[in-house]
Amino acid sequence: MADPKTPTSGRGTDPRIVFRLFVTVGLAVALIGALWSLADGSAAAGPRGEGKAAGIAMPAAAKSLPQVMLRAVRAANPCAEPAVQTALASGGDDAVVAAFGGGAAFRAAVAAGNAPCINLGDPTRDWLVVNKARPLAPLTFAPASLSEPALIAEDSAGPVRSDVAQALDKLSAGAAAAGVGRIGLGSGYRSYDTQVQTYSGQVQMYGRVQGDALSARPGHSEHQTGMAADVVSCARNCGGINDFGDTSGGAWVAQNAWQYGFIVRYVAGQTPVTGYDPEPWHLRYIGVPLATAYHDGGFTTLEQFFGLPAAPSYPG
C-alpha cells in the first residue's frame, strides 16, 4: 500500500520535492557564481577590493552544471584528478608536480591543505620536509639508491641519492662554464648511526644548545635522506665548507642552484624558522619544478614554502 503522504502518478507534485530542488539548484548557482567571481571578478577588483560591476551575464559554463561542479571539486582537491593519481602511482616526482599544474600550483595546493595525497613526511619524495619538529619516519630511514657525483672533495664525503648525484654533476658543470670553478661534494649521505656520532661530537664540543644549532639530531637530518649535499668550491684546490659562502662559487650557487633542482636550505636571517645557523654550503634537492617555484616565489625556507610552522627547537 502506498504511503498516503507520498504523491503517486497523476496526483501532482509534492511541495517538499519542489522545495528541495529549489534549494539544490540555488546552492549550485551560488557555487558557480562564487567560483566565477574568484576566477574572473577578483582579478578586476579595484584598489579597495571592489568587484566588477553588477549586471554581467552568467558564463556559458553555467549551462553545464554537472561538469562545472566536478571541476570545482577537483580544483579543491587536485588529488582527485586521474593524471595526479597516475603520476603518484607510477610516475616520478616531477611528473606528479606537473600533473598538479606545475611547481607553483603544487605548492599552493599543499600549503592550502587541498592535497591530501601529498605526504610531506615521505622520505622518498622530493617534497619531504624534515626538521626539528618533523622527524623521519622511520627514524632510521635509508635511501634505496645511492651513488657518487663526479667530483668528491672529501674522501669521507659519502654518496647521495642517484638523481641528486646527477643534478650535482650538472650544477658543477654549470659553475665551471660560468667561470667560477667546479663545485665538489664535501658531505653527502649520513646514516642514522653516522649522525649519532656527528651530533654527539658537536654537543661534546659546543654544548647541547649550540650543538642543536650546528647539527641535526639523529633521525632529523636531511643528510640521512640522501637529498642533502654540503658542497665546496673547487676553483683551484677544493676548499672547505666554512669558507664556501665567501667564494665566487658560493655566490654563484646561491643565485643559480634552483636551476638544477637545489635550494640553499639554511640561509641567514631564518634561524628562528629552521633552528640552524646559516649554512650557505648546505644544498637540499627538491627537483627543478619545485625549486623554480621556490625561487620565483622568493621563499627562503621549506617551512614557509609549504605553509608549515617554524621549527626552531625540538619538542623535548
- Cα-based torsion angle of the residue sequence 102, 104, 107, 110 in order, rounded to the nearest 10 degrees: -70
- What angle in degrees, to the nearest 10, is found between the helix axes of 288-296 and 93-100? 50
pLDDT tens by residue, 113-171: 999 999 999 999 999 999 999 999 999 999 999 999 999 998 888 899 999 999 999 99
Note the pLDDT tens digit of each residue in 239-281: 999 999 999 999 999 999 999 999 999 999 999 999 999 999 9
Phi-psi region of 102 (alpha: psi -120 to 50; beta: other; left: phi over 0): left
Q: Is the peptide bond before 59 cis (omega within 30 degrees of 0)?
A: no
What is the band of 301 on the pLDDT scale with cuts at 50, 70, 90? very high
Q: What secondary structure letter does DSSP report for 237?
A: S
Nearest CA-CA partner of 85 in 112, 125, 117: 117
Cell of 34: 562564487
In this model, does residue 5 exceed pLDDT 90?
no
In angstroms, the CA 141 to CA 121 distance is: 12
The neighbouring-strand residues paired with 160 are 147
pLDDT tens digits, one per residue of 40-56:
433 333 333 333 333 33
Domain boundaries, the chain: 65-118, 146-305
Give the CA distances from residue 138 to residues 66, 121, 192, 306, in Å, rounded to whole numbers and listed in that order.
Answer: 43, 10, 11, 22
pLDDT, residue 316, reads 73
Highest mean pLDDT among 1-10, 180-189, 206-215: 180-189
Q: What percent of the chain has pLDDT over 90?
A: 72
Q: Scan for cell 606528479, then name that residue.
A: 96
Q: In which band, very low, low, confident or very high, does the pLDDT at 23 lie, cut at 50, 70 and 90?
A: very low
pLDDT at 101 over 80: yes
Residue 8 has pLDDT above 70, yes or no: no
pLDDT greater at residue 296 or residue 56: 296
Mean pLDDT over the full length of the chain: 83
What pLDDT is attached to residue 67?
55
Contact by Cβ (8 Å): 306, 120: yes
CA atoms within 13 A on the CB side of 53: 1
Using the predicted structure, report yes or no on whether residue 29 has a pLDDT greater than 60. Answer: no
Chain centroid offset of residue 282 CA: 17
266 membership: H or E segment, kind and range: strand 262-266
- 146-305 CATH, one of 3.40.1620.10, 1.10.443.10, 3.40.50.980, 3.30.1380.10: 3.30.1380.10
Are the beta carbons of 121 and 285 closer than 8 angstroms?
no
Cell 511541495 belongs to 15
